[in-house]
Chains A and B, each alone.
Chain A
Amino acid sequence: MKSFYTILRYEIFALFISPSTYVAAFYFLSLLAIGFRFFIETFSNTDWLLPPLSSLVVGLLFGSPALIPFITMRCFAEERRLGTLETLFSAPVSSWTLVLGKWFGCFVFFLIISTLALCYPLLLIIMFPEQGSNLGFNEIENWIGSTLYLLIFGATFIAIGVFSSSITKNQMVAGMLTFTLLTAYLSIMVFSFGNQTSNTYYTISQKLSDGLFGTYINGLDKFGQFSVGLIDLSTILNQLVLTIFFLILSTIQIERLNN
């Protein structure tokens, strides 16, 4: 457990001293701010049904292929290039701890950027309370639902990035692979948007099995519920399983490297 914290701290530190993450975060947040501003101004003319806050989450998620590679590409690819994995394992550290620590470090960085992004509506409601509440930025359940949705998908995406980074020595390749995988995942979700077959479950076990395996591609459908504060457990479970799956894959990959 202690080595987990050490690795976590080291990973966050490494992210903070690397200029590429700053540049990426800066551009990402700026673009998001411009998009958000534009969206808020034209909101009354769009046929967007969900609360306006959701636009930010959608922006963050669909923009993530441009952000997450910059956060995760370094984590294992750089260690592999320099050969420092061997030094790491000469200390009493397990590969699972290492993967988990690195994943969580990247996740914390993602959280920081998300928090900064979520400051836009927060600032809006503080500075212009009236317009803010008109847009529904003061409804706490929207905040909880949207944030949770963002967190669980962010966790999965970061895990995908960590995995991509573990299979190559080249940061660029790791970044491209992350980009491709995330884009593919998002596209599948978009294409399957709206054709959810049935929403009625008869038994708990059916619901559970569906939660574990069934609805990965329908994540976007669930967004409507999350954005108004209706939390769907099966989606959370889905993403959790997917996250753990990719983390286990990374661990296996790292262990394989050692022999």
Chain B
Amino acid sequence: MSAENKPLPIIEVVNLKKSFGRIQALKGVSFSIGKGEIVGFLGPNGAGKSTTLRILSGLIPADAGEAKVCGVDLAQEEGLVRNHIGYLPENNPLPEDLRVIEYLRFRALLKGLEGSRLKERIKVVLDICDLERKISERKIGNLSKGYRQRVGIADSLLAEPRLVILDEPTIGLDPHQSAVTRKMMERLRGEVSFLLSSHILSEVEACCDRMIILSHGQIVAEGSLYELQKRFVNKTIFQIDASGNKIDIQKRIRSIDRTCELIQDDPVEVSGKRRYNFSTEQGEQIAERIIRTLLEEKNIRISGFQIRRPDLETIFLRATKKNWEKHDFLNRNKI
């Protein structure tokens, strides 16, 4: 989506900052979200996702910067914004000894719904979130995680908000349950804007129009999957399964291709075999030379080699790594 035909922004954030004591959780974040968009908020743990979402939902004030949500300036009337949005907090806290239907009625009353509208809305959200009658009569404390999550989402949809902010809506859910969440968003696409944070990249890849990648309180990448891929597409990704000294492998590869960069390495087996992801600017031609060189090395054993298009995971790792290195002083000279 280009900037011109983007509909009126429902969230507009400029240079948002927030500190907790000495921890700088947000160091100037700017982005905007259009009406009806579904945007994924990605980032490693502690990146400041929840902090941003809590500021946007009017729960905590920002230290500096501007934020407009649904046309309400948060700095002036942070309380007012709560009338327009639905918010699912991180970990989805719910009272345990209420029945689902009682809880939703309480929430609806709090959000100012009344009479027949209240009844109708409760029916609608129960339907949207696939909460059958039998479930809605049960105590929340006895529900499974999947159903609890649905109750939380049902609550956030009660007052027909124009914007729904979900903080990790699919955490701890089995694929079946998270598909329900995705379907729910699909169903409301266009009417409601969604801003959701997640660690599960395939989720975001599947249902979000756009993603914003946050790391250490700063936005490091932003755009649709296609745009992000385009940004990273001039880089080719090699995946090498090898056992041997990590430094040796890196040195060998660097000697062939100076632009080659290690994005990630994970152990695959206990035997010491690791999976390395390298990105290079030289394109696929260089691949053959690299693998040939590596195969000739006596102390390196290769068991797999693959060229990949960058998926969201790679993009994510790539985007957050630069930023990570800057802060991780211990690892800095190792890489």
Contacts and interface: CB of A to CB of B under 8 A. Distances in A.
B61 A259 contact: yes
A27 interface: no
Nearest to A18: B97
Given A94-B79, A258-B59, A258-B60, A86 B89 contact: yes
A90 B57 contact: yes
A82 interface: yes
Interface string B144-187: 00000000000100000000000000000000000000000000
B149 to A, nearest CB: 13
Chain B interface mostly: loop
Given A2-B112, A3-B110, A6-B109, A90 B93 contact: no
Contact of B60 (A79, A93, A259): A259
A83 B111 contact: no
A10 B106 contact: yes
Interface in A234-258: 258
A3 B114 CA distance: 12
A87 B97 contact: no
A84 interface: yes
A185 interface: no
Contact of A82 (B58, B60, B95): B95
B15 interface: no
A91 interface: yes
B255 interface: no
B111 A82 contact: no
A84 B110 contact: no
B107 interface: yes
A6 B104 CA distance: 12
Interface in A1-33: 2-3, 6-7, 10, 13-14, 17-18
A83 B89 contact: yes
A193 interface: no
Which among B80, B83, B96, B106 has the greatest number of chain A C-beta atoms within 10 A? Answer: B106
Contacts of A14: 95, 97-98
B259 interface: no
Contacts of A259: 60-61
A70 to B, nearest CB: 16
A258 B20 CA distance: 12
Given A10-B106, A91-B110, A82 B83 contact: no
A6 B59 contact: no
Contacts of B94: 82, 84, 87
Contacts of A18: 97
Interface string A85-113: 01111111110000000000000000000
B59 A90 contact: yes
A86 B107 contact: no
Given A2-B112, A92-B111, A86 B93 contact: yes
A6 B102 CA distance: 12
A84 B93 contact: yes
Interface in B41-91: 54, 57-61, 79-80, 82-83, 87, 89, 91
A3 B80 CA distance: 14
Contacts of A94: 79
A83 B110 contact: no
B110 A89 contact: no
A88 B109 CA distance: 12
A6 B106 contact: yes
Interface string B90-125: 010111111000100011011110000000000000
A90 B155 CA distance: 11
A170 to B, nearest CB: 16
A82 B93 contact: yes
Contacts of A258: 59-60
Contacts of B155: 87
A192 to B, nearest CB: 42
B59 A93 contact: no
Contacts of A87: 89, 93-94, 155
Nearest to B102: A13
Nearest to B57: A90
A243 B243 CA distance: 71
Contacts of A90: 57-59, 82, 87, 89
A3 B89 CA distance: 20
Contact of A83 (B59, B80, B91): B91
A92 B95 contact: no
B117 to A, nearest CB: 14
A41 B61 CA distance: 63
B91 to A, nearest CB: 6
8 contacts: A18-B97, A78-B95, A82-B93, A83-B91, A86-B59, A87-B93, A90-B82, A92-B82
Q: Which 8 pairs from chain A and chain B are nearest by CB? A: A83-B93, A90-B87, A91-B110, A6-B109, A86-B89, A92-B82, A84-B93, A82-B93
Interface of A: 2-3, 6-7, 10, 13-14, 17-18, 78-79, 82-84, 86-94, 258-259
Given A18-B97, A92-B79, 14 more contacts: A3-B112, A10-B106, A17-B97, A82-B93, A83-B89, A83-B91, A84-B93, A86-B59, A87-B155, A89-B82, A90-B57, A92-B82, A258-B59, A259-B61
